[in-house]
Chains A and B, each alone.
Chain A
Amino acid sequence: MSAFGGFDLFELFRAEIVAHGASLNDGLLRLEQNPADVHPIESLMRAAHSIKGASRVIGLDLAVDLAHHMEDCLVNIQKKVEVCGPERVEQLLGGTDILTQLGTLQEADLPTWKSTNAVDINALITALSAPPQAMPASVKVAKPVDVVEPFVPAAEIIQPATESLVAPTNPSTAALSATKSVAGSSEQPIQPSDKSGNTAKSVAAAAAPEVRTVRVNAENLDRMMRLAGESMVEGKRFPQIRRGLREMKSQLRFARDSFESAVKRRDAAEISSSLARLASIESSLTSHAEFLENVFRRTEEVGTKLYHEVIGSRMRPFGDVTAGHPRMIRDLAKKLGKKVRFDIEGAHVAVDRDVLARLEAPLNHMLRNAIDHGVEGPEDRLAAGKGETAHLRLQARHHAGMLEVRIRDDGRGIDPERVRTKVIEKRLQSADIAAGLNKTELLEFLFLPGFSTASQVTEVSGRGVGLDVVSQTVREIGGTVRLESQPGQGSEFILSLPITLSVIRAVTVMVGGEGYAFPLARIERIVKVDSASLKSMEGRLTFELDERSIGLLRASELFGISQTTESNSSSVVNVVVLGDIDNPCGLVVDQFMGEQDLVVRKLDPRLGKTPFVSSAAIDDEGHAILIMDVEDLLIGIRRGLSEGGVRGLDIASLRRNSSGRKRVLVVDDSITVREVERQMLARLGYEVETAVDGVDGFTQLKAGRFDLLVTDVDMPRMNGIEFVKALRREPRFATLPVAIVSYKDRAEDRAAGMEAGANAYLTKGSFQDQSFIQTITDLIGEAQT
């Protein structure tokens, strides 16, 4: 239980600290760039004042004192009592860092925060109270974790790359783990370890919020409430309609009875009166129908609006994720002795909060790399004929239904020839092939894991470090990333991402009578292929698409479910083409159902990781539908094919019904027996499929159409007797002819087989004479239908 009267109060405090901390950071950076501009000071004062007030409510006197002195300082600057110099900005930023730590703490960590920061806060208060020139040397100014150590060769940066990807960009969160990044620095961290050295770790661990809270725009919430209210009001009109209909029903019954009675009595006046009543009822019914239609239309409209508002409530401005970037860029550039102008465009662009959360680390990484490796120092830039201040731009916009994020610098760019050399050195391609790669293809190598590990070429390796993780993160949220670069002119990363993860546009298909959804963005093509145009290659079916040969696999086999008989007999194969241009796969489905927007729901965690499924949704008909994990699917397809766990689609399985020949399934765990039976039957002209045991046999029977089953008795997993019994329990197999062929020839064995539901029981000696062939022919006749 909260010491402050409830968890919510502390949650609000934290939210306020985060919001005002961001304002302080932003305003102080603007003030530093232009000390003469006093416009940001007003908002800075408000932010400091608000933090002071909130801290007072929580009872955090240390924070109150610090915020108070920061506010005093800002008042002096506004009144031009003092000029805002770099030292003062450092002090104010240091104070901001300490205060913003509060935004990530749990309530229980406050005593630790106080004891850890008391000395530094008091020193900072002294410094803020004194004229800027009199800043004591002992003041410890916080610095964010994103400030990297002095420039090190690329190879040394490689190892921490992944770590840096998960480092927080927010200065407040960064400060929590500052001990690590500033270790070895002459400055002391703002968050030192206690005697046991555990403070930073414990505070960082505690920083993980226990309860997830979501901020929703107040106007958005108001609109949702209005629509919810309206929806309820609309719902209340239905009882009125029901009452009216019931009334009309009784009127109708009365009118009908009167009419029938009048007809019997041949009472013309009464007939006329009944007819008038019926006309009145008809008129009433018409007006009711109109009323009902209005209510329906209105209900649908309100429902749709409410749906869009709810979805919209998940959207946040892109600026939410960039709040810490100006400070990070500023600190990093200063540390590396570079001059950088950083612009953000499209901070207002609305993006799903989940996309923003996933985007934070890749953006942070690419920006830091741009400053660290892409942008030259002032001397180098002047020598290259550029201005001494580099320009780094982060741009977000909605483009073609996607969020497009561009990170562009005007630095040294990437030399494709150096990349080509690396490709050959690392034996990723032969020299011949590498020589033919164009610039775009070469830059793709930078996204490969560890591509730059052995490289000492700064601009190349710097760009390669962690880019594989960037690429992977972007792919995971259904986006793409590409790099464009001109040597000497700069580089640009272009990320194309879904605007929301909550709603996806999906293609729905049927497989084995079940609906599945494929995210549209992850599908390369959907095509209907004429089975006559299929080609066989090493026993696998392929088809030609855009001069590429694409292998086919049955979705039902991958998913472990039965395929409908209709799909087997179709002369057209429905194919979903997945994968990239170089390595596409075709997944055969039963039917294409169409496109629809799906609101993505997480799968119940009790299901664990379900193969090939990423999430669930509710389709247009209100039924659950599974959304496929295309990445997982591609891995599964490739692994299955390479390990033989998944069979490619074979011609026979597709064309089995077009031949007009009868089909026999042979089930036996002995490959020799299977082969003997298969050959004997094939010689007679039957189409033969084989299975290795009862379970396999049952699966194949369900997946296809067969005219006869020939099965052994002794088999693993499911023996022949169990198999036949299970078969006979299914109505569709109740009449399927079944022949058991076994070594067991005792009378009780035969009796058991026949009782299970077999039509014939043969011993394997029947292969020697004609009894096997004769029995098959007796059961299903000649091979050709």
Chain B
Amino acid sequence: MTQLPPEDLANKKIGLTQLLARPILPSNLANNTNELAQERSQSLREEDTILLFRIGGERFALPANSVINVFPCTLVRKVPHRTRPPFRGLCCHEGAILLTGLLHVVLDMDMDKNADAKLRRMIVIGSEDASWAFEVDAVDCIRKVDPSKFRNAPSTIPKNSSSCTNCIIPMDDGDAVLLNPIAIQTIMEKAIQ
């Protein structure tokens, strides 16, 4: 290691002291804080996994951890005097009797009449005690996504209790609308109150 002359060492020390004592700009502080706070390699968490499905030719997503079950479509029984959409009726799966809603009505869309009936699925969201099932045209896949790339929903989408759109997920094979499962359940439950 090269030994510096004593005067150079003193100059360096002065320089370093000045460097450390310099005023820090707020912008620098914010940048550095962000740099430290953010994980270097964005690891995908359980909540960043989504279930992709289709209704009426559009692509939607739900956080996978909000989905309890996906199963082939089954008969839905209407309930007397409980016919206000988006409530649909009761269906049965694996011995459980599930409240069933119409997600396409919540989304103000039509189901795809030309969709392959074999691909239609029921998705169950919520918890074991308070779940909702609804029919979709098809379930595409479960996929991990990077939340940092999510885009805000267009400003025309209201941010109120009647909306269940969370944000847009850009994907190579086409965007999907990420839905808020809590909002969906809230809207469906209003129909039976």
A-side interface residues toward B, CB under 8 Å? 512, 514-515, 558-561, 601, 603-604, 606-608, 610-613, 616, 618, 622-626
In contact, A623 and B81 (Cβ under 8 angstroms): no
B80 interface hit (Cβ, 8 Å): yes
Residues of A within 8 A of B80 (CB): 558-561, 610-613, 626
In contact, B81 and A514 (Cβ under 8 angstroms): no
Bound together, the chains give a CA A590 to CA B74 distance in angstroms of: 22
In contact, B99 and A601 (Cβ under 8 angstroms): no
| A626-B90 in contact given A606-B192, A616-B97 (Cβ < 8 Å) | yes
* B79-123 at interface with A (beta carbon < 8 Å): 79-83, 89-92, 95, 97, 99
B131: nearest chain-A partner, CB-CB = A604
| A561-B78 in contact given A624-B92, A626-B90 (Cβ < 8 Å) | yes
Bound together, the chains give a CA A607 to CA B97 distance in angstroms of: 12
Bound together, the chains give a CA A167 to CA B80 distance in angstroms of: 37
In contact, A607 and B78 (Cβ under 8 angstroms): no
| A560-B77 in contact given A601-B97, A623-B92, A624-B97 (Cβ < 8 Å) | no
In contact, A607 and B99 (Cβ under 8 angstroms): yes
Residues of A within 8 A of B95 (CB): 618
Bound together, the chains give a CA A618 to CA B95 distance in angstroms of: 7
Given A624-B75, A624-B91, 9 extra CB contacts under 8 A: A512-B78, A559-B80, A604-B97, A606-B192, A607-B99, A616-B90, A622-B92, A626-B77, A626-B90
| A626-B79 in contact given A604-B97, A604-B99, A608-B192 (Cβ < 8 Å) | yes
- What 8 A-B pairs have minimum CB-CB distances, sorted nearest first? A559-B80, A624-B90, A624-B92, A623-B75, A611-B81, A624-B77, A624-B97, A616-B97
A698 to chain B, nearest CB (A): 13
A619: nearest chain-B partner, CB-CB = B92
Q: Which of B83, B90, B189 has the most CB of A within 10 A?
A: B90
Contact flags (1/0) for B63-84 with A, using CB distance below 8 Å? 0000000000011111111110
Residues of B within 8 A of A612 (CB): 80-81
Residues of A within 8 A of B79 (CB): 607, 610, 613, 626
A623: nearest chain-B partner, CB-CB = B75
Residues of B within 8 A of A603 (CB): 97
B130 interface hit (Cβ, 8 Å): yes
Bound together, the chains give a CA A235 to CA B81 distance in angstroms of: 41
In contact, B82 and A607 (Cβ under 8 angstroms): yes
In contact, B82 and A610 (Cβ under 8 angstroms): yes
Instruction: Report how many A-B pairs have Cβ atoms within 8 Å.
Output: 63
B92: nearest chain-A partner, CB-CB = A624
Residues of A within 8 A of B189 (CB): 606
Bound together, the chains give a CA A515 to CA B24 distance in angstroms of: 75
When the two chains form the complex, which single residue of B74, B78, B193 contacts A514, counting CB atoms closer than 8 Å?
Answer: B78
Residues of B within 8 A of A601 (CB): 97
B-side interface residues toward A, CB under 8 Å? 74-83, 89-92, 95, 97, 99, 130, 189, 192-193
Bound together, the chains give a CA A558 to CA B81 distance in angstroms of: 9
In contact, A623 and B192 (Cβ under 8 angstroms): no
Residues of B within 8 A of A625 (CB): 77
| A515-B99 in contact given A618-B92, A624-B91 (Cβ < 8 Å) | no
Residues of A within 8 A of B90 (CB): 604, 616, 624, 626
In contact, B77 and A515 (Cβ under 8 angstroms): yes
Residues of A within 8 A of B97 (CB): 601, 603-604, 616, 618, 624
A599: nearest chain-B partner, CB-CB = B95
In contact, B78 and A606 (Cβ under 8 angstroms): no
Residues of B within 8 A of A624 (CB): 75-77, 89-92, 97
A351 to chain B, nearest CB (A): 24
Q: Which of B74, B75, B83, B97 has the most CB of A within 10 A?
A: B97
A598 to chain B, nearest CB (A): 12
In contact, A606 and B99 (Cβ under 8 angstroms): yes
Q: Which of A512, A604, A608, A610 has the most CB of B within 10 A?
A: A604
Residues of A within 8 A of B130 (CB): 606
Bound together, the chains give a CA A603 to CA B96 distance in angstroms of: 11
Q: Which of A608, A613, A624, A626 has the most CB of B within 10 A?
A: A624
A717 to chain B, nearest CB (A): 14
In contact, B83 and A514 (Cβ under 8 angstroms): no
5 interchain pairs (CB within 8 A)?
A560-B81, A560-B83, A606-B192, A612-B81, A624-B75
| A607-B83 in contact given A601-B97, A623-B74, A623-B92 (Cβ < 8 Å) | no
Residues of B within 8 A of A607 (CB): 79, 82, 99, 192
In contact, A561 and B83 (Cβ under 8 angstroms): yes
Residues of B within 8 A of A604 (CB): 90, 97, 99
Residues of B within 8 A of A560 (CB): 80-81, 83
Residues of B within 8 A of A512 (CB): 78
A616: nearest chain-B partner, CB-CB = B97
A516 to chain B, nearest CB (A): 8
B192: nearest chain-A partner, CB-CB = A607
B78: nearest chain-A partner, CB-CB = A514
Residues of A within 8 A of B99 (CB): 604, 606-607
Bound together, the chains give a CA A623 to CA B74 distance in angstroms of: 8
B97 to chain A, nearest CB (A): 5
Bound together, the chains give a CA A559 to CA B75 distance in angstroms of: 19
Bound together, the chains give a CA A558 to CA B80 distance in angstroms of: 8
A696 to chain B, nearest CB (A): 15
Residues of B within 8 A of A514 (CB): 77-78
Bound together, the chains give a CA A616 to CA B89 distance in angstroms of: 12
Bound together, the chains give a CA A612 to CA B79 distance in angstroms of: 10
B100: nearest chain-A partner, CB-CB = A624
B130: nearest chain-A partner, CB-CB = A606
A221 to chain B, nearest CB (A): 19
Bound together, the chains give a CA A147 to CA B90 distance in angstroms of: 49
Bound together, the chains give a CA A12 to CA B95 distance in angstroms of: 30
B6 to chain A, nearest CB (A): 68
Bound together, the chains give a CA A515 to CA B76 distance in angstroms of: 11
Residues of A within 8 A of B83 (CB): 560-561
B94 to chain A, nearest CB (A): 10
Residues of B within 8 A of A608 (CB): 192-193
A606 to chain B, nearest CB (A): 6
| A610-B81 in contact given A618-B95, A624-B92 (Cβ < 8 Å) | yes
